[in-house]
Amino acid sequence: MNKQARNLEETGNRPHGAKMTIFLVDDEPLVRKALSRVLKGDGHEVFEFKDPEEAMQALDTCRPDCIISDYYMPGTNGLTFLETVRSRYPGIPRVMLTGGLLDQQVLDALQEELIHVLLQKPWHVSSIRKVIEHAWAGDKKVFIGKDPVIQSTGKPDLSHSSKLAGIAAQEIRSTVLMVIEDGEVRSRIEAQLTQLGYRVLSCTEPGEASELMRAEEPQVILVDVFLSDCEGFSLIESVRELSTYVPIVATAVENRNDLVVDALRSGATCFLAWPFGSDTLGSTIQRCLRMENLFLGESRRSDLSALLQIQHAISSGIPEHQMLDLLLQEMIRQTSADRGTIMLLEKDERNLRIAASYGLSSDVVRQERIPVGDQVSGWVVMHNQPRMVFGNAGGNSRRDGKEKNASVGLCLPMRGRDKVLGALCLTRIEGTAPFTRDSIDLGILLGSEVAQAIERNADEAKQLNLERNLARHDKLLTIGELASGIAHEINNPLGYVNSNVDTLKNYLDGIIPVLEKLVPGNGGPDFDGALAAMQAINLDYIAADLPECIEETREGIGRVLTIISDLKALAREDSVEMDTLDIHKVLEGAVNIVWNQIKHKAQLVREYTDAPAIACYPSQLGQVFLNLLHNAVQAIESNGRIVLRTGKRNGFVFVEVEDNGSGMDKEVARQVFEPFYTTKPRGIGTGMGLNIARKIIERHHGRISLQSEKGKGTTFRVELPKDGNNGVNKENGDEDSSPRG
């Protein structure tokens, strides 16, 4: 007799009273622990059993006041167990827990009173207490949950629990479980979630998270991948094993591709890099909740899970080779294949090369190269048709010197928009069971998703390269138009630097004879000769002018170096990562380059505020300001005024370039951002400057706008997010700090 049975024997049949004796049957220890914590906290006596067999042995010793059983258990199910309980001990109230969909068998069991109370996960403390109330009252056909199947079928009879269902609907909000160690980050995210209306559970350790997940079954889980000892990824994997459909948002203080890939491979639904604003967090969770709904009914199938994994990987922008690895892993998992390869067309489209593999030796991977039309994979690519092959590994010869066992191979085309980009090959080495039609359809679907993503990436790369070349051309053209002014700005200081150097030489020529007389020689210092030499020069004037001459020379050299530095900054290629920079520094660099044109036509007024540094691509942003300043100068005939204004508002830093030049009518203003549109004479400008400026600002997740009136001038306004991304926390919006108020 086990320990629990001995305890029951000592307890005997307890009389009914304020508290109950409860048998709890569930194969998951943490579920039992969580339920017991609630029930024991209310004073009930709880006996836990890991399987129905153990519970039935205990029933021979003692009769509990209630039995709570899980539905899904290894080797049997809760319905079989409760059927046995009803046949032997019909007076004991029977409660069933289920986290899955309510199938017809469960609904019929509730209608036929095999189950007295049915509790659907996710359950809450209030739900457990309601279960006990109904069990004490002897209620039957009671359903506590929110499964849409109940509403559509009209089953079961919920007359006993309609009031309860209403209470539950009011009490239960979407629950988000946060697992984050950093206290400050955890507090800030919890405040955002609470403000968005979510019920928030938070913890710092994977063990505590697993317990909360089983007890509360949150709708969304947010996990910091940087938990101690990289346990964040392990926790994601554990959660995904428990539930294939609960959305998992991975987060980190770094936005690195390898973190995104590892999180997605572990089972995360999406990835958010901290810091992020409430808008970003709220929209992400809403997408996650919609995704959870997709998994109801048939959408819980593993093939849809594979499709969502691939789509999330694509939308996250992971590198091509990692996307191919993920596709191969998903298909091997879905089809129980032993090995596989992905063959992609080379640039000449005459041969296939191995782009990803699993289960092959490195020598084979390096050497394998198949002409289109040759072997099975080449035939599949040429004819755009799947093929299944029996007797050899995937249809491609693998000359590794080993005897092949009976096997079956599947080779599928990876279809792009207009052509086949490659072949997905899978092999089962042992057995000859063919791949199913569903496996073929799924492989073609996933392969096509990846193939078209590769095409889109290639198209985007070409487009990006084209835009970079256009931007570079426009930049060089603008600098070319300003070249004479830039040369003038360099030649001016060089002119007086050169003059000052001559002056300094003349001063030195006069001072050297004095020094030579004072330097001790064979006869000692010649003070009389030195005095005579001093009388030949104006020493007082030299002493007064020399410091000023040196300082002016240094200033002139500094001006030249500044212009050269600004030109280099504008001409250089930006790195992949943004730099954090004072917006005024970028703006002043553009002013220095175009200054010669400004000073002859307009007064420059600076209305700067204490705008924060922003994350940006300095060279690209400098090109925007250069174009706006150049346009302002060209719009002014003479005696004009250009105002540079900066400030911050609603999480954005803004820059305004205002001129009182010729202005534009509404039709021109509507078209100025269109490519190749220009009002300048032929041979002046390309019509691409403002279009390129808009693309650059959009790349910074900002916006550019203008206000203009014919004959009165134009104001361009550039707005850039302070943190360099579009996840701006707008509820913390700054007051408008522009000088205009």
Q: What Cα–Cα distance (Å) separates residue 159 from each residue in 94, 132, 144, 259? A: 18, 18, 12, 51
Rounded distance between C-alpha atoms, residue 631 and residue 649, angstroms? 26
pLDDT over 60 (residue 396):
no
100-104, 377-381, 586-590: segment of lowest average pLDDT = 100-104
Residue 730 confidence class, pLDDT cut points 50, 70, 90: very low
Q: What is the pLDDT of residues 257-316, one digit of tens each?
A: 778 888 888 888 888 888 888 777 887 887 777 665 555 444 445 666 677 777 777 766
Q: DSSP letters of 554-584? A: HHHHHHHHHHHHHHHHHHSPPPSS-EEE-HH
More confident residue, 559 or 55: 55
Q: What is the pLDDT of residues 408-438, one digit of tens each?
A: 889 999 998 888 999 999 988 876 678 888 8
Q: What is the CATH code of the structural domain delimited by 175-300?
A: 3.40.50.2300
Domain 579-732 bears CATH identifier 3.30.565.10: yes
Q: What is the pLDDT of residues 548-599, one digit of tens each?
A: 888 888 888 887 887 787 777 666 665 566 788 888 988 988 888 888 788 8
Q: For residue 351, what are the contacts with CB-CB under 8 A and spacing of at least 6?
A: 345, 369, 370, 371, 372
- Exposed, middle or buried by CB within 10 Å (0-12, 13-18, 19+), for 12? exposed
What is the sign, positive or negative, of the torsion defined by CA atoms of 662, 663, 666, 669?
A: positive
Residue 16 confidence class, pLDDT cut points 50, 70, 90: very low
Domain 3-171 bears CATH identifier 3.40.50.300: no
Contacts made by residues 505-509, CB under 8 angstroms, sequence distance 24+: 507/542, 507/545, 507/546, 507/549
**How much is the pLDDT for 93?**
93
pLDDT over 70 (residue 356):
yes
Mean pLDDT computed over 616-629:
86
Q: What is the pLDDT of residues 502-554, one digit of tens each?
A: 888 888 888 888 888 888 766 678 787 778 878 778 888 888 888 888 888 88
Within 13 A of 75's CA, how many CA atoms are on the CB side? 7
Percent of the chain past pLDDT 90, that is, above it, reads: 11
**From the DSSP assignment, how many helices (H) and strands (E) are in the chain?**
25, 26
pLDDT over 70 (residue 319):
yes
Q: Tokens 């600076």 identify what position?
A: 606
Mean pLDDT computed over 444-471:
81
105-119, 471-485, 576-590: segment of lowest average pLDDT = 471-485
**How much is the pLDDT for 557?**
85
**How much is the pLDDT for 13?**
44
Closest CA to 152 of 18, 38, 323, 296: 296
Q: How is domain 320-458 classified at the CATH fold level?
A: Beta-Lactamase (3.30.450)
Rounded distance between C-alpha atoms, residue 340 and residue 336, angstroms? 11
Which residues does residue 420 pair with via DSSP β-bridges, in sequence order?
Answer: 415
Task: Give per-residue burial for 198-230: e unless 16+ CB within 10 Å, then b.
Answer: bbbbbbbebeebbbbbbbbbbbbbbbbbbbeee
Token duo for residue 461? 């790369």
The domain spans of the chain are: 3-171, 175-300, 320-458, 484-571, 579-732
pLDDT over 70 (residue 195):
yes
Q: Tokens 């094993």 identify what position?
A: 241
Closest CA to 697 of 636, 604, 617: 617
Token duo for residue 475? 């930049």
More confident residue, 611 or 117: 117
The yes-or-no answer to whether 3-171 and 320-458 have a common fold is no
Q: Tokens 């174009």 identify what position?
A: 627
Residue 739 confidence class, pLDDT cut points 50, 70, 90: very low
If you count them, how many residues does the chain have?
Answer: 741
**How much is the pLDDT for 153?**
37
pLDDT over 50 (residue 2):
no
Rounded distance between C-alpha atoms, residue 279 and residue 269, angstroms? 18
Token duo for residue 632? 């302002």
More confident residue, 492 or 614: 614
240 touches 265 (CB < 8 A): no
**Which stretch, 541-545, 704-708, 734-738, has highest mean pLDDT?**
704-708
Q: What is the pLDDT of residues 238-261, one digit of tens each?
A: 887 777 678 889 888 777 777 888
**How much is the pLDDT for 49?**
92
**How much is the pLDDT for 65?**
92
Q: DSSP letters of 123-141? A: --HHHHHHHHHHHHHT--S
217 sits in the region (left: phi over 0; alpha: psi -120 to 50; else beta) called left
pTM reported for the whole predicted model: 0.41
pLDDT over 50 (residue 113):
yes
**How much is the pLDDT for 167?**
29
More confident residue, 529 or 705: 705
Residue 14 confidence class, pLDDT cut points 50, 70, 90: very low
**How much is the pLDDT for 298?**
42
Within 13 A of 349's CA, how many CA atoms are on the CB side? 5
More confident residue, 443 or 120: 443
Q: What is the pLDDT of residues 143-152, one digit of tens each?
A: 887 543 443 3
**How much is the pLDDT for 155?**
40
